[in-house]
Amino acid sequence: MTTRELSYSQAVQEALAIALENDPRVFLMGEDIGVYGGAFQVTGDLVARFGEDRVRDTPISELGGAGVAVGAALAGARPVYEFQFSDFATLAMEQIVNQAAKLRFMLGGKVSVPVVFRMPAGSGTGAAAQHSQSLEAWFGHVPGLKVVEPSTPEDAKGMLLAAIDDPDPVLVFEHKLLYKVKGHVPEGSYHTPLNKAAVRREGKNVTMVAAGIMVPKALAAAEVLAGEGIEAEVIDLRSIRPLDMDTIIASVKKTSRLICIHEGVKSYGIGAEISARISESEAFDCLDAPIMRLGGAEVPIPYSPILEKAAVPQEDDIVAGARKLLNGGL
């Protein structure tokens, strides 16, 4: 089999094209996703291929737009709504949290809400505090939602296709700095599970559970640490809700040390949840060191590149964290 490389954004676009091609119920909605091609050129020229009805520019109306997507899903369509920046989902929380997440349950299981929200997220673009957040943990708190965060082009395609075919609402967080990252992407249609973490590197000394953009950073850190004789196991979380604790627990039982790494603010974050669940699991007795969390600083994302970089975990922070953990101190 030939190895074909695509960028993350090309992989997302390919998934959208396959879904549009294969399922007449699928359509895309969002701001400037048509002739403009999307703020990050993810939808590209899809409007030329599939027309303005199915690659639908919306007014700048996030609450209404997200809600229209939910209503269309209730009525048998398969909408994929792109938030131009995931920060703007704050304008649409009502429809995501009160409606999409709860309708199936409130109606006694008589409806499903097969809607997908695409969520370009994260810092590193100099767009400052209102265009750089990582809010996935917020949505992880809501029963009824599924929240995923693919870190590779291959998963970006496979998880989006799985999300579109899923009967329940799925939020797909795409870190904006990953859009240009290239990697192998299989041809054709395939599903990547929405509930399974992936071990990206095996190791015996410390488990690093990383989400989204933190996966390549953790892998780079692991490479540095390997030169020092520290073998890190890197787990790509992939799914925020549900959490694949089986994979994490198995790894911690092997390594006895855990670092949770995510870009979202550390307090009440993904790492807090994983840490708590390890404490509640049989892996707790295997720990040789306290659990470490590396997360976003307790600050809105700053504009200054120096400060922006300092506000989220970097490769050096991960290396330093692992060394500290291995040396028994925190």
Alpha-carbon distances of 21 from 17, 128, 209, 323, rounded to whole Å: 6, 37, 36, 49
Contact set for other proteins, span 131-190 (CB under 8 A): 143-144, 146, 166-168
Contact set for other proteins, span 88-117 (CB under 8 A): 94-95, 98-99, 103-112
Task: Give the relative orientation of helices 214-226 and 315-326 as an angle to the nearest 10 degrees.
Answer: 50
Residue 38: CB minimum distance to other proteins, A: 19
Clarify whether 315 is annotated catalytic.
no
C-beta closer to other proteins: residue 87 or 165: 165
Hey, which residues does 235 pair with through a beta bridge? 199, 209
Residue 145: CB minimum distance to other proteins, A: 9
Instruction: Let me know: does 204 contact 231? Beta carbons within 8 Å.
Output: yes
C-beta closer to other proteins: residue 51 or 126: 51
Interface with other proteins (CB under 8 A), residue from 6, 12, 13, 27: 27
C-beta closer to other proteins: residue 195 or 304: 195
User: Taking contact as CB under 8 A, which single stretch among the options 11-19, 73-81, 124-132, 262-270 is the one that binds other proteins?
Assistant: 73-81
294 sits near other proteins (criterion: CB under 8 A):
no
Closest CA to 229 of 135, 326, 158: 326
Residue 87: CB atoms within 10 A of its CB come to: 21
User: Taking contact as CB under 8 A, which single stretch among the options 2-10, 11-19, 51-59, 280-288 is the one that binds other proteins?
Assistant: 51-59
260 sits near other proteins (criterion: CB under 8 A):
no
63 sits near other proteins (criterion: CB under 8 A):
yes
Residue 168: CB atoms within 10 A of its CB come to: 17
Hey, which residues does 258 pair with through a beta bridge? 207
Given 14, 31, 82, 131, the catalytic residue: 131
What x-and-dash track marks residues 192-211 binding other proteins by CB under 8 A? ---x----------------
User: Taking contact as CB under 8 A, which single stretch among the options 8-16, 37-45, 236-244, 316-324 is the one that binds other proteins?
Assistant: 236-244
**Phi, psi dihedrals of residue 4, rounded to the nearest 5°:** -115, 125
Instruction: Let me know: does 213 contact 151? Beta carbons within 8 Å.
Output: yes
| Alpha carbons 174 and 188: distance in angstroms, whole number | 21
C-beta closer to other proteins: residue 116 or 311: 116
Burial class (CB in 10 A: 0-12, 13-18, 19+), 231: middle
| Alpha carbons 209 and 280: distance in angstroms, whole number | 17
Q: Which amino acid is at 73?
A: A
Instruction: Let me know: does 63 contact 50? Beta carbons within 8 Å.
Output: no
Clarify whether 131 is annotated catalytic.
yes
Interface with other proteins (CB under 8 A), residue from 17, 68, 128, 287: 68
Residues with active-site annotation: 62, 131
- Residue numbers of the site for other proteins (CB under 8 A)? 24-25, 27, 53-54, 58-59, 61, 63-77, 79, 94-95, 98-99, 103-112, 143-144, 146, 166-168, 195, 241-243
